[in-house]
Amino acid sequence: MDNEILKALRERRSIRRYRPEQIKDEELQAVLEAGTWAPTAMGRQDPWIVAVQRPDLVARIDALNAAVWGREAPFYGAPTIVLVFGSDPAAWANSVPDGSLVLGNMMLAAHAVGLGSCWINREREMFATPEGKALMAELGLPEGLIGIGALALGYPAAFPPTVKPRKENYYRIIR
């Protein structure tokens, strides 16, 4: 079987080079909206999604991540960063899977509207620092949330030249 969604699932790639111009509002809206339709445990809609386009804040988030990573430009110069937060897993054990599905939906939606995206790690550590907590307050988030993940988002400037084949025996069917 095949259809447009299955094709998009196969063809989405992590993009690590972006054009500098900002994406259109309707494109951002489509990506965020797709995130809100991800399934969440018990339908609780635990995740918090924050899209950041203000250049000074994008630079701050990039720097906070770089400080954890120990390398420069973790967001690859993408003009938009989408952060996903969730409850502390001590309070809601499903917060990380919930937020991860939101991120997955948004990556697929980005591809579907012609944008590039890449999941960027290290939000848990970044937003546990005093600077990270201060930034969360500036973003209007309540206390006690954890960072789950983030997306670099923008127009792709380059596509990965090759794709790893899927590993052997990735799935099995037991009948």
The site for ligand FMN (CB under 6 A) is made up of: 13-14, 16, 118-121, 160
From the CB of 175, what's the least distance to ligand FMN, in Å? 29
Rounded to a whole number of angstroms, the minimum distance from the CB of residue 143 to ligand FMN is 25
Instruction: For the CB of residue 15, give the shortest distance to ligand FMN in the complex, in Å.
Output: 8
Q: CB burial class (10 A; 0-12, 13-18, 19+) of residue 84?
A: buried
Contact partners, residue 58, CB within 8 Å, separation at least 6: 52, 75, 78, 79, 80, 81
Rounded to whole angstroms, the Cα distance separating 79 from 52 reads 9
What is the spatial distance between Cα 22 and Cα 28, in angstroms, rounded to a whole number?
10
CB of 121 to ligand FMN, least distance (A): 4
In terms of CB distance, is 114 or 142 closer to ligand FMN?
114
CB closer to ligand FMN out of 32 and 118: 118
Distance CA 23, CA 115 (A): 8
140 sits in the region (left: phi over 0; alpha: psi -120 to 50; else beta) called: left
Query: Could you tell me how far CA 57 lies from the centroid of its own chain?
Result: 16
Which of residues 23 and 68 has its CB atom nearest to ligand FMN in the complex? 68
Question: Which CB, 140 or 161, lies closer to ligand FMN?
Answer: 161
Least CB distance to ligand FMN at residue 140 (A)? 25
Q: Which is nearer to ligand FMN, 166 or 175 (CB)?
A: 166
